[in-house]
Structure 1
Amino acid sequence: MSLLVKSSKRGQTMVALEAGRLEYVGFAAYRLSLGETLPVSAGDQELCLVLLSGRVTIEGAGFSWQNLGDRQSVFEDKSPFAAYLPPGTDAQVTALSDVQIAVCAAPGAQGFAPRLIRPEQCKRSVRGKGANTRYVCDILPDSEPAHSLLVVEVRTPSGHSSSYPPHKHDTDDLPHQSFLEETYYHQVNPPQGFVFQRVYTDDRSIDQAMAVENSDLVVVPKGYHPVSVPYGYESYYLNVMAGPKRAWHFHNDPQHSWLLDL
């Protein structure tokens, strides 16, 4: 089965992971026009709504977050607004402009309250060096309250590589490595471009190389998963990770770990 989920150019749903495709991670991204609404129901999961672009109001029982949004593109040098919704929470998103919004899902548990995540709460960092430099924004890291979800976004400049050297997190062997499924939601600037992503395991039971276009989704059930960005285009991706333990510990591909010494 292909690990590439193609996006739709029409309709409210830009791309969505098929239900049951992964055990721990769920994902969908939506486009809304001014005045449109998106109902969201957590059920027995926990959700993280990430406002990719535009302005919205998010309302539910006990909370009303008005006029959120401070960027018109994921390629602006700004962190997003996001919202954490625990199991049993219903909410409605109302678009105050043209909007793109992601709904990230994972198994939930009681004991957490709905909360707004403001841009200034997101930790920003630079990872890598040279043509491996990329810009990271932690939206829901393991240092912040949640049961399963980990959410991070990354911008990678033209001609650079990302999630590189290749690494994996598919073995429950803490503190050395954690088991986390993952999805990559991609955007490309300008939008007619593409990036390359490879997902592969040591035994090559999985080995797929994909040309990924704007708003496509890549599924990473296990294995290494590097991204390369062709000259002339910028890459953005939103990562959603979840597994049996909420910790991010990865293992570099030993064939390529020499790159860390450059």
Structure 2
Amino acid sequence: MPKLLVKSEKGTGRVSHVTPASAGWTYVGFDLHRMKPGEAVSAATGDREVCLVLVTGKGRAKAGTEDFGLLGERMSPFEGKPWSVYVPQGSDWSVTAETGLELAVCSAPGLDGGLAARVIAPDQLGREVRGKGANTRYVTNILPENEPADSLLVVEVITPGGHTSSYPPHKHDRDDLPRESYLEETYYHRLNPPQGFAFQRVYTDDRSLDETMAVEDGDVVLVPKGYHPCAACHGYDLYYLNVMAGPKRTWKFYNAPEHEWLLKA
């Protein structure tokens, strides 16, 4: 199995690169571009759909025949909600940085759903609070299953320092609807302040997979299967951008039975 922890490269350019081939799976792809003002990134989606997330900074975006102009406003992923662009399969897209820009390119198979490219603005995004006490975290749904897409599910989460997240441990690695859906997943992590670290464990019931990783600012964690809780250390808030996709576009998870009592505590 490929390494689950993908370290970010230094400097600018494409600093993170995950493909189905490199991850050893079928659906999810993830790239992170760190760009200077005036730099541009472009690509063709081919047989995949894409969600472009402006994690930080401002840029001018085009997709297909649409020129969406200048997008973006936040300069930190810990401030406000993101601007994003959905791009269907069979399209070209480009983003030119107006300021320093961190651009996430989330991808999954397209299904020829006849969808159009569109901007996903911050005022369209729902934000919810999950958990309580030291398990409280703040969730922004960028591309949830009730919004049009073929395969992609995209969400970002902020976990305050000293809190846990994706917890109690849950998994979604069986195509067993309506009880559980099969979804591959990536976590793109950021820390505030950036010199901090957090922890993420990925494990299965039989422990044939059981890895605990110290994640630093810019790291990506692959979740091919199993439970995948996170813990943010005291003094350092944790942000992560999740990309999920599988054979059916629905998020139905299964809680680890031995920890489910926490939901009633």
* TM-score normalised over the length of structure 1: 0.98
- Kindly indicate whether residue 26 of structure 2 is the aligned counterpart of residue 23 of structure 1: yes
Within the candidate set 136, 156, 161, 1:158 is matched to 161
Looking at structure 2, the residues matched to 18 and 144 of structure 1 have their Cα atoms a distance apart, in angstroms, of 24
Q: What is residue 85 of structure 1 aligned with on the other side?
A: 87
User: Would you say the 8 A contact 2:168–2:262 is kept in 1?
Assistant: yes
Residue in structure 2 matched with residue 130 of structure 1 by the alignment: 133
Alignment partner of 1:49 is 2:49: no
Shift of the alpha carbon at 1:35? 0.4
Q: Indicate the residue corresponding to 2:41 in structure 1.
A: 38
CA contact (8 A) 1:86 1:109 kept: no
Q: TM-score, normalised by structure 2?
A: 0.97
Identify unmatched segments of 5+ residues in structure 2.
none
Gaps (5+ residues) in structure 1? Answer: none
1:7 match: secondary structure? coil
1:159-178 matches, within 5 Å, as 159-178=162-181
Which residue type is aligned with residue 153 of structure 2? Answer: L
Instruction: Report if the CA contact (8 A) 2:192-2:237 is conserved.
Output: yes
1:176-255 → structure 2 map (5 Å cutoff): 176-255=179-258
Partners of 1:158 and 1:11 in 2: how far apart?
28
Q: Deviations over 1:165-222 (max 9, x none)?
A: 0000001111111000000000001111111000000111110000000000000001
Check conservation: 1:40, 1:93, Cα contact below 8 A.
Answer: no
CA RMSD of aligned residues (A): 0.9
CA distance in 1, matches of 2:105, 2:208: 30
Q: Residue 101 of structure 1 corresponds to which residue in structure 2?
A: 103
Instruction: State the alpha-carbon separation in 2 of the partners of residues 248 and 62 from structure 1.
Output: 32
Give distance in 1, aligned partners of 2:100 and 2:9.
17
SS at match of 1:256: helix
1:2 matched to 2:3? The reply is yes
- Offset, 1:60: 3.3
Residue deviations 1:104-156 (CA, integer Å, cap 9, x gap): 00000221111110111111100000000000000000000111000000000
Q: Structure 2: how far apart are the matches of 1:153 and 1:60? A: 23
Between the aligned residues of both structures, percent identity stands at 57
